[in-house]
Amino acid sequence: MLRDLPLSGVVVVELSDSASAPFTGKILAELGAEVWKVERPTGDSARGWGPSTWRGSGAAFHALNRGKRCISIDIKDRDQLTALHQLIAERADVFVHNLRPGAAAAYGLDADSLRVTKPELICCEIGAFGHTGPLNTLPGYDPLMQAFSGIMSITGEEDGAPVRAGVSIVDFGAGMWAAIGILAALHRRGTKHAGATVNGSLLETAIAWMSVGIANHGADGEPGGRHGSGVAFIVPHRAFSASDGDLVVSCANDALFARLCEALGAPEWAADDRFATNAGRLRNRSEIDRLIGERLAGETREHWQKRLRSAGIPVAPIQTTAELVAHEQTRALGIIGTPADDELGLVGLPLSFDGKRPPPLHAARDIGADNDGIERVLKDRR
């Protein structure tokens, strides 16, 4: 067990809803920060997300909010808003929120207002379209940003409709970038003794995920296109069907492709001018994918995993969530932990320090479970 986590002693006040800011708070809590999650009296929207629920709240809420103190505050109530301001002024090193555009300033919770009285405060604001520009006041969610950024234009089957990634990559990515920005600001505060305003957004995160596609477009004007489980710039680098399921085979260079040909009993493919180089395979994608697929279809996933791995070829089965959770590699990593007070297995921090992963945090708490603690904390500081 880690006794001294990297952010031990850091206090975070998180005024949040849904996914992006809660994910930021979760990361900081896993790193050892004391996180006060502030919800409206009716609770975070994620408490109502289904269909899976646990102890009265959506399982998604538990995934994003364990390890935090939970308080409910109606910021439209003057006394409650004053208490929140006092909590931030008295305790917080970091204040993070994903309020709708304009709402923070309306309640004096914007960075400019808060840092007038507490200049050392680190304020992190996670927006939708960003903190500037003609669309900056619009609300937004993960699917909108996958659409706007072009991610959906390159996701899905070639002749099919655009597809959203199955997980909230923009929400979680924005949460990660916010955490990175906060950590950088904390480091700077330690040397410069000054706070900071960290601005992040869903759109900027989505654009960052398009870095390679944007570079490719700048180089040759090509839009990218959809390639199903594959990618625009490497062949083969996609899913194929074995006799009992699917697996992904990846050959990111010509040497790996030559090994694949040997393992599949077709060394002549590597000598074929159509397939010898990645450039050639890109031009003849359909044909080489067909040939590889025909060979792989004749044996099981297990057969091909053993054969290809022994040849040093990257390969992985397409697993269900149940298969992932049960797999010996997942268990060996210990990344899915069960806190002592909660039977729900949740994913921990995907980092280790000196070979040890931070231990599981306590379960997500009920709405306002720690409201009594606000007065005690503030009283202790007076």
Instruction: Give the lowest-confidence range in 66-75, 104-113, 194-203, 343-352.
Output: 343-352
Task: State yes or no: pLDDT of 92 exceeds 80.
Answer: yes
**Whole-model pTM?**
0.90
Q: How confident is the model at residue 10 (pLDDT cuts 50, 70, 90)?
A: very high
- Per residue in 218-272, pLDDT (tens digit) is 998 877 788 999 988 899 999 999 999 999 999 999 999 999 999 999 999 999 9
CATH code for the part of the protein at 237-318: 3.30.1540.10
**Which string of b and e fits 43-67 if b means at least 16 CB within 10 Å?**
bbebbebeeeebeebbbbbbbbbbb
- Per residue in 127-151, pLDDT (tens digit) is 999 999 999 999 899 999 999 999 9
What is the model's pLDDT at position 271? Answer: 96
- Per residue in 347-372, pLDDT (tens digit) is 999 999 989 999 888 889 999 999 98
Q: Place domain 11-209+332-381 in its CATH homologous superfamily.
A: Crotonobetainyl-coa:carnitine coa-transferase; domain 1 (3.40.50.10540)
Closest by alpha carbon to 230, among 249, 245, 216? 249
- Per residue in 178-221, pLDDT (tens digit) is 999 999 999 999 888 899 999 999 999 999 999 999 998 899 88
Strands (E) in the chain, as ranges, are: 11-15, 34-39, 53-54, 57-58, 69-72, 94-97, 122-127, 196-201, 237-242, 245-250, 315-317, 336-337, 346-347
The C-alpha atoms of residue 25 and residue 333 are separated, in whole angstroms, by 23
Average pLDDT score over residue span 321-327: 94
What is the model's pLDDT at position 380? Answer: 56
* 11-209+332-381 matches 237-318 in fold: no
Average pLDDT score over residue span 326-343: 87
Q: Where are the domains of the chain?
A: 11-209+332-381, 237-318
Q: How confident is the model at residue 341 (pLDDT cuts 50, 70, 90)?
A: confident
What is the model's pLDDT at position 3? Answer: 56
